[in-house]
Amino acid sequence: MVNLTLYGLDPSPPTRAVKMTLAALQLAYKYVNVNVLKAEQHSPAYLQKNPQHTVPMLEDGPVRFWDSHAIMAYLVRKYAKDDSLYPKDFYKRALVDQRLHFESGVVFAHALISITRMVLFLGQTKVPKERIQAIVETYDFVEAFLKDQEYIAGDQLTIADFSLISSISSMVAYVEIDPVKYPKLRAWMRRMEQLPVYAENSVGARLFIASVKKAKFTVAE
């Protein structure tokens, strides 16, 4: 019997990426809300499970681990009926892995969370222009990746699409996507929005965008 528990919160982009994967695999799970804005991830009980105090975290029966990329890959390997979301073919998987590392290091850590920490967690009223440039650079990269293909890691939907859509649909809170400059990026976003599993992303993305829009900050030149 499947016995999955996901710890997370909907505004969190990596939590949403995992929720899209769980929906795509039609897996039932228990969802435990961890409000990081109220520092619930620093509670002794949570720290005992995850000393890195991040969400999402997955428990699968007796085992537990965190990081959305590791969780999504595990879920597909363990529970999917086929390998399409995380192909077994060495080259195809290398492309998915590259995009997952790109999301983790360049998109989420360097661009999205760094400005979000300033605006939402620290309440800074001025953010350096380079933080905005990091977001624009992400759009440039993804536009280039999508030049000759429909999805982030090739011509089929993979967990790399879930990962990237969760962060990029949140980044629009800071920089709108110019449809003339980024036609491929826009078309891919529309494609993702058509998927039934996108419902797992849309509510949280709206909540995230609303929190950023409510915060008062300006960009320092």
Ligand X SMILES: N[C@@H](CCC(=O)N[C@@H](CS)C(=O)NCC(=O)O)C(=O)O
Q: Which residues bind ligand X (CB under 6 A)?
A: 12-14, 36, 41, 53-56, 67-69, 104, 108, 113
Determine how many CB atoms are found less than 10 A away from the CB of residue 52: 9
Cβ 137 to ligand X, closest distance in Å?
19
Identity of the residue, 36 or 146, whose beta carbon is nearer to ligand X in the bound complex: 36
Q: What count of other Cβ atoms lies within 10 Å of the Cβ of residue 151? A: 19
Closer to ligand X by CB, 134 or 182: give it.
Answer: 134
- What CA–CA distance (Å, rounded) separates 12 from 65? 17
Contact present, 87 and 158 (Cβ < 8 Å): yes
84 as an active site residue: the answer is: no
Q: How far is the CB of 127 from ligand X (least distance, A)?
A: 18
- State the nearest-atom distance from the C-beta of 108 to ligand X, in Å: 6
**Which tokens is 136 given?**
């624009």
Q: Which is nearer to ligand X, 139 or 167 (CB)?
A: 167
93, 86 Cβ separation under 8 angstroms: yes
Smallest separation (angstroms) from ligand X to the CB of 25: 18
Decide whether 102 or 188 has the Cβ nearer to ligand X: 102
The closest of 212, 221, 213, 37 to 127, measured between CA atoms, is: 221
Q: Which of 12, 68, 169, 170 is catalytic?
A: 12
CA angle 171, 136, 188 (to 5 degrees): 65
Which residues are the active-site residues?
A: 12
